[in-house]
């Protein structure tokens, strides 16, 4: 393992998040077993007060997760110097087989936490807290996910040893490369655009539909559209957006755009993308409970707001990506 401050910070943060959730597990079990909203007993009051702690803890983990995601990519990028052949974060993440799974795990935890918080939010607006048990079951389900992510991250950092020959973005994301990332960028810019724009459009359309007329189909369409648009967006960044930003026909790297050399343009792209995808997925996460009596007026309101955010986010993302493509000096297609 490399003895690096940022690595220690990352592992520490993951460990603390995991421990916090682990410490709240017994409480979650108690809620599942003993919750009785009708009762005014002191035990029930104590349970209700405990729920405040858990939502605060989860919001905390969620915020930390977002910061961690950035720090993780940042760290990987800076460590690139330590590995032969690695020139940016991609190379570092490829040093061992845990790198990319660890990154994907972080993204997954981020989205799952966002969905849980959405469910928590609607539940807290209904006077009878109808989703309390479901919520805490879900929280318990989140625990192993967090544990696995911590394990992946730990394995990854433990396996980091300087001087291992790795591929860098030049080879991993070049057309000969194998694996998912290779395939995505092996897709020529043309077809990638044909996937990219319809997917964004679909997500925006579904979200606008849900915003105009909230309903079951529209909600699930929004969630599905968001998921597809997120994947399409990442493939699009790999396949052509990054090329235009780097103004280099073979530099397919999703991380270098976060660097100062490229004026931090990556943040402008990823921020709306992640917010939009989180909101879109959250719309789907709360929809199954729309029929609960006390939530009938709450869910459409919240759902509409989330859908509006998702639509705005995806639209903004697509617009920014297009702007970067149009403003680039790189010419991939002859007119």
- Residues in the site for another protein, rule: CB under 8 A? 2-6, 8-10, 12-13, 16, 20, 37-43, 45, 48-49, 52-53, 56-57, 60, 64, 67, 70-71, 74-75, 77-78, 81-82, 84, 124, 127-129, 162-163, 260
Contact 162, 2 (CB under 8 A): yes
| Inter-helix orientation angle 265-286/216-236, to 10° | 150
Cα–Cα distance list, 78 to 31, 141, 172 (Å)? 44, 34, 18
**Min CB(129)–another protein separation in Å:** 6
What three-state secondary structure class fits 112?
A: helix
- The burial of 163, by beta-carbon neighbours within 10 Å (0-12 exposed, 13-18 middle, 19 or more buried), is given as exposed
**Min CB(94)–another protein separation in Å:** 17
Determine the Cα–Cα distance for residues 281 and 210; give it in Å rounded to an integer.
Answer: 13
Determine the Cα–Cα distance for residues 233 and 226; give it in Å rounded to an integer.
Answer: 10
**Min CB(53)–another protein separation in Å:** 4
- In DSSP notation, 288-303 reads GGTTSGGGTTHHHHHH
**Min CB(262)–another protein separation in Å:** 13
* CA-based nearest residue to 249, from 258, 257, 240, 261: 240
**Min CB(5)–another protein separation in Å:** 5
**Min CB(82)–another protein separation in Å:** 5
**Min CB(29)–another protein separation in Å:** 19
- Cβ nearer to another protein, comparing 167 with 200: 167
**Min CB(274)–another protein separation in Å:** 17
- Cβ nearer to another protein, comparing 47 with 325: 47
- Cβ nearer to another protein, comparing 260 with 329: 260
CA angle 205, 210, 215 (to 5 degrees): 135
Contact 111, 140 (CB under 8 A): no
- Cβ nearer to another protein, comparing 65 with 226: 65
Determine the Cα–Cα distance for residues 235 and 321; give it in Å rounded to an integer.
Answer: 13
Contact 310, 217 (CB under 8 A): no
- Cβ nearer to another protein, comparing 67 with 141: 67
**Any idea how long the chain is?**
335
Contact 285, 219 (CB under 8 A): no
- Cβ nearer to another protein, comparing 3 with 333: 3
Determine the Cα–Cα distance for residues 59 and 117; give it in Å rounded to an integer.
Answer: 7
- Cβ nearer to another protein, comparing 142 with 229: 142
- Cβ nearer to another protein, comparing 75 with 235: 75
* CA-based nearest residue to 315, from 182, 197, 193, 213: 197
């Amino acid at each position: 393992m490399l003895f690096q401050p940022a690595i220690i910070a990352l592992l520490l943060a993951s460990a603390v998040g995991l421990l916090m959730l682990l410490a709240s597990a017994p409480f979650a079990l108690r809620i599942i077993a003993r919750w009785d909203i009708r009762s005014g007993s002191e035990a029930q009051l104590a349970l209700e007060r405990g729920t405040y702690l858990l939502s605060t803890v989860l919001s905390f983990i969620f915020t930390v997760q977002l910061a961690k995601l950035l720090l993780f990519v940042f760290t990987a990028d800076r460590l690139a110097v330590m590995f032969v052949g690695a020139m940016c974060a991609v190379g570092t993440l490829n040093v061992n087989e845990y790198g990319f799974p660890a990154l994907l795990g972080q993204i997954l935890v981020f989205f799952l936490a966002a969905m849980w918080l959405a469910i928590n939010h609607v539940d807290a607006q209904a006077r009878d807290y109808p989703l309390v048990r479901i919520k805490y079951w879900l929280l318990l389900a989140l625990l192993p996910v967090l544990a696995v992510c911590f394990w992946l991250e730990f394995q990854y950092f433990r396996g980091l040893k300087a001087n291992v020959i790795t591929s860098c973005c030049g080879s991993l994301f070049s057309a000969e490369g194998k694996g998912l990332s290779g395939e995505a960028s092996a897709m020529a810019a043309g077809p990638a655009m044909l996937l990219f724009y319809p997917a964004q459009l679909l997500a925006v359309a579904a979200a606008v539909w849900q915003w105009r007329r909230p309903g079951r189909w529209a909600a699930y369409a929004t969630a599905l559209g968001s998921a597809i648009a997120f994947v399409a967006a990442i493939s699009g960044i790999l396949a052509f957006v990054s090329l235009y930003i780097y103004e280099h026909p073979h530099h397919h790297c999703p991380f270098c755009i976060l660097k100062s050399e490229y004026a931090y343009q990556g943040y402008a792209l990823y921020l709306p993308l992640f917010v939009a995808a989180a909101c879109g997925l959250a719309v789907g996460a709360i929809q199954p409970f729309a029929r609960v009596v006390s939530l009938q007026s709450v869910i459409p309101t919240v759902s509409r707001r989330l859908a509006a955010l998702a639509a705005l986010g995806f639209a903004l993302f697509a617009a920014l990506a297009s702007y970067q493509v149009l403003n680039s000096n790189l010419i991939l297609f002859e007119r």
